[in-house]
Amino acid sequence: MQTETLKDNNLDWLKESNVAAVEFKSISRGLIVTDEMVKAAKVRLLLATTLCPGKYLTIVSGDVAAVEKSLKVAEQIGGRHVFSSFVISGIGPEVLDAISGKVISKIKDAIAIIESLQMANIINAADIAIDSANVEIAELRLGKGCGVNSFFIITGSLTAVNEAAASAAGFLKEEGSLIAYRVIANPDRELLKWLQPAMCSC
């Protein structure tokens, strides 16, 4: 019975490992279209938030058919108000959780911050980092509120963080969207308290 439960949980993750993201030029239009996206297909709303200046970002997850249908509805109803849109498949549960705001509460021996111009690439890079080494996502911010760049922070042992950060940065560099990445060993406690997402009022 336990084996069947684990198998079912894995299937649930596979069904939700695809995301569709839409960036709108208008906040009001974004709200209206997001409502239609969720109603049109069996998707889970991971993120719906305002962006600076005056934009709106929506990300949903589900199986491939569902997220593609949701994206199609967004593009049809959003029309000229859609600034950008994309679908990514095979995203791990840790990254999905980070997108929806669930992050770890404890920073470990080292951290790395990886920064990119493109939201789609930063999501893929975060997934690559998690797959590359034994690290966790401390925060993932998708070009909202505090600026136009997207970034994520990972934590773990120094060796693991170096390996994961290099793999993620390598992918972003190949895609031409790497801004920078840095690894910090034994981050100071004063710095750590400012890494908490709740501290950001953006």
Average pLDDT for 110-126: 93
> Does residue 124 surpass a pLDDT of 50?
yes
Please write the tens of the pLDDT for every residue from 154-175: 999 999 999 999 999 999 999 9
Average pLDDT for 65-80: 96
pLDDT of residue 77: 96
For CA atoms 140, 198, 200, 161, the dihedral sign is negative
pLDDT of residue 15: 60
CATH of domain 2-88: 3.30.70.1710
Average pLDDT, the chain: 86
- CATH class entry, domain 97-199: alpha beta
Cis peptide before 197 (omega within 30 of 0): no
Q: Enumerate the domain spans of the chain.
A: 2-88, 97-199
> Does residue 99 surpass a pLDDT of 80?
yes
If we measure between CA atoms, which residue out of 74, 62, 59 comes closest to residue 143? Answer: 59
pLDDT of residue 147: 53
Average pLDDT for 183-191: 85
